[in-house]
C-alpha cells in the first residue's frame, strides 16, 4: 500500500531544534472561518470568535535585565538565567523576582544543602521551555507532580527518557490515542519519551516543577503552583487566537478555570492514572478533538502529529497515510504487534491489564474497504493496586 511518511521527532535526550519561522507564522496566521461549529467547537458550546491580533512583546534585553538584578537575586535565579528559554523569560521575568518565587528558590537551596535529592535534575527543570518556546504553543497538557524516582522526570509532564519504561498513566494515554488514531503505535521497547510532541508545539507542564526523591507532592505549596499558573495564564492571554488546553483530573481542571473557553478549546477528563482511567479517559477523544479544532481554526498545518515512532504519522487517517508500505514476509506479525497497545486500570484493589486492539469495522468489511475501529478490552489481573498514581517503574542509575 502506498503511503506518505513523516518524521516523528528528535532522538532521545537531544536538545530541541529551533522552529522554522515560516511554519510557525503560517500556523498562527488568522484562523480560518468555519460555517459549522464541528465536534471540537461544539464541546465549548460557542462558535469561534473573530480573529484577535496577539500582543507584540517588546524586544527583551536579557543582559540588561540580568544587570538590573541584585547580587542575591542573581544568585538565586542563576538556573532561570541559564536554562529558561528567552521567549518565556521575557514574559516571566517579573514573576521571577517576586518574594514568593525567591522564597521558593531559597527552599530548594535548603533542600540541596541538607543533602535531599530532588528531581528532575536542575538542568531539566525548565526543559519544557526549551522544547516548546512560547511562540510555538498549540496545545497545553497540564500535569501534576513530577515522577519522583530515579531516571524518570526530565521536565516534561508524563514523559520519561530511555531506558525507563512508560509509566502506567502514559501507557493509558497511548490507549486513548489508539482509540482516536488506530494507526498510532506505541514507541518500541516500552518507550515513554514525548519530546517529539513538545517540538511540535505541545507544552507538557506539571503544576509543580520539582519533587523530593521518593516523596510525592513533597515540594507542593512552596511556590511552584503560582509560577505555573502564571505560565498557563500567559498562554491563555497572549496566544489569543486560540490553543487547546487538556486538563486531566480535578487538580488540573482547577488550573484552567480562568481560560476563556470561547477563545480556546478546554478539554477535561479524569486522570489517565490506572486509578481513574477506566472512568472515561480511554474514550475521551481529546487527541482527535484537539486536531479537529486546530484544523478548523488554522487549516491542516495547524494539527499536531501525535505519532511517536520514526517515519510514522497519524495525520493521514482515511487516506492511507501512516500505514506500513509494501507486503512481504512478517508483515502480518508486525501489523498485529503494532495494532495492540497495552495499559492498566484498577478494578477494586486489583490492577488489570487493558488492551486497545484495532479491528476492521463492520462497515469497512462489508464495503470491502479497510476501515478500522479500536476495541478496549480488560484482561487478567497483573498486580495489587498502589495508592500513588505518580509512581513509575524504578530504573537504577
Nearest to 354 by CA among 315, 380, 328, 390: 380
pLDDT tens digit sequence for 267-284? 999 999 999 999 999 999
- Over range 199-224, report the average pLDDT: 96
Q: In this predicted structure, what is the pLDDT of residue 28?
A: 46
Q: What is the CA radius of gyration of the chain?
A: 21
Q: In this predicted structure, what is the pLDDT of residue 379?
A: 55
Chain mean position to CA 165: 17
pLDDT tens digit sequence for 42-93? 344 344 444 455 555 668 999 999 999 999 999 999 999 999 999 999 999 9
Quick count: other Cβ atoms within 10 Å of Cβ 380?
Answer: 7
Q: In this predicted structure, what is the pLDDT of residue 55?
A: 58
Kindly tell me if the per-residue pLDDT of 334 is higher than 90: no
Kindly tell me if the per-residue pLDDT of 157 is higher than 60: yes
Half-sphere exposure of 355 (CA within 13 A, CB side): 13
Percent of the chain clearing pLDDT 70 (strictly above): 67
Q: In this predicted structure, what is the pLDDT of residue 353?
A: 72
d(CA 177, CA 25): 28
Domain 23-47+61-312+333-384 belongs to what architecture? 3-Layer(aba) Sandwich (3.40)
pLDDT tens digit sequence for 233-247? 999 999 989 999 999
The pairs formed by 186-192 with CB atoms below 8 angstroms and a separation of 24 or more are 186/308, 186/341, 186/342, 187/308, 187/309, 188/309, 189/162, 189/163, 189/165, 190/165, 190/166, 191/12, 191/162, 191/165, 191/166, 191/308, 192/158, 192/159, 192/160, 192/161, 192/164, 192/165, 192/166, 192/167
Q: In this predicted structure, what is the pLDDT of residue 151?
A: 87
Q: In this predicted structure, what is the pLDDT of residue 77?
A: 98
- Over range 329-349, report the average pLDDT: 56
Quick count: other Cβ atoms within 10 Å of Cβ 17?
Answer: 9
Report residue 202: phi and psi, to 5°.
Answer: -100, 110
d(CA 10, CA 141): 20
Kindly tell me if the per-residue pLDDT of 20 is higher than 60: no
Higher pLDDT, 388 or 355: 355
Report, as residue numbers or ranges, the catalytic residues.
145
Confidence label for 204 from pLDDT (cuts 50, 70 and 90): very high
- Over range 240-264, report the average pLDDT: 96
Q: In this predicted structure, what is the pLDDT of residue 341?
A: 80
Locate the domains of the chain by residue range.
23-47+61-312+333-384
Q: In this predicted structure, what is the pLDDT of residue 44?
A: 43
- Over range 26-46, report the average pLDDT: 41
- DSSP, collapsed to helix, strand or coil, labels residue 159 as coil
Nearest to 379 by CA among 349, 339, 345, 335: 345
Amino acid at each position: 500500500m502506498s503511503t506518505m511518511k513523516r518524521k516523528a521527532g528528535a532522538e532521545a535526550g537531544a536538545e530541541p531544534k529551533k522552529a522554522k519561522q515560516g511554519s510557525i507564522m503560517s500556523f498562527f496566521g488568522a484562523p480560518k472561518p468555519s460555517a459549522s461549529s464541528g465536534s471540537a467547537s461544539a464541546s465549548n458550546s460557542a462558535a469561534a470568535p473573530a480573529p484577535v491580533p496577539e500582543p507584540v512583546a517588546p524586544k527583551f534585553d536579557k543582559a540588561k535585565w540580568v544587570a538590573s538584578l541584585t547580587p542575591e537575586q542573581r544568585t538565586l535565579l542563576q538556573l532561570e538565567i541559564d536554562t529558561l528559554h528567552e521567549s518565556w523569560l521575557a514574559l516571566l521575568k517579573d514573576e521571577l523576582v517576586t518574594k514568593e518565587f525567591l522564597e521558593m528558590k531559597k527552599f530548594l537551596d535548603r533542600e540541596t544543602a541538607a543533602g535531599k535529592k530532588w528531581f528532575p535534575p536542575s538542568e531539566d527543570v525548565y526543559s519544557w521551555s526549551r522544547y516548546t518556546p512560547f511562540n510555538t504553543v498549540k496545545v497545553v497538557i497540564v500535569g501534576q507532580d513530577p515522577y519522583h524516582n530515579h531516571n524518570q522526570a526530565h521536565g516534561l509532564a508524563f514523559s520519561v527518557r530511555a531506558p525507563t519504561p512508560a509509566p502506567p498513566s502514559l501507557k493509558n494515554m497511548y490507549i486513548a490515542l489508539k482509540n482516536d488514531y488506530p494507526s498510532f503505535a506505541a514507541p518500541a521497547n516500552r518507550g515513554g519519551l514525548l519530546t517529539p510532541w513538545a517540538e511540535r508545539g505541545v507544552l507538557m507542564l506539571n503544576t509543580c516543577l520539582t519533587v523530593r526523591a521518593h516523596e510525592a507532592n513533597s515540594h507542593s505549596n512552596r511556590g511552584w503552583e503560582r509560577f505555573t499558573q502564571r505560565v498557563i495564564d500567559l498562554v491563555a492571554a497572549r496566544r489569543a487566537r486560540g490553543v487547546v488546553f487538556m486538563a486531566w483530573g480535578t487538580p488540573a481542571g482547577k488550573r484552567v478555570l480562568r481560560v476563556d473557553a470561547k477563545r480556546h478549546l478546554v478539554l477535561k477528563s479524569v486522570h489517565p492514572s490506572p486509578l481513574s482511567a477506566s472512568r472515561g479517559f480511554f474514550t475521551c477523544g481529546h487527541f482527535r478533538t484537539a486536531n479537529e479544532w486546530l484544523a478548523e481554526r488554522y487549516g491542516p498545518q495547524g494539527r499536531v502529529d501525535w505519532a511517536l515512532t520514526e517515519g510514522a504519522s497519524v495525520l493521514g487517517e482515511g487516506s492511507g497515510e501512516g500505514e506500513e508500505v509494501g507486503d512481504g514476509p512478517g508483515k502480518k506479525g508486525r501489523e498485529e504487534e503494532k495494532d495492540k497497545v497495552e495499559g492498566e486500570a484498577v478494578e477494586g484493589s486489583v490492577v488489570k491489564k487493558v488492551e486497545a486492539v484495532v479491528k476492521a469495522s463492520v462497515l469497512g468489511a462489508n464495503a470491502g474497504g479497510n476501515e478500522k475501529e479500536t476495541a478496549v478490552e480488560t484482561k487478567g489481573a497483573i498486580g495489587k493496586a498502589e495508592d500513588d498514581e505518580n509512581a513509575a517503574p524504578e530504573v537504577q542509575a
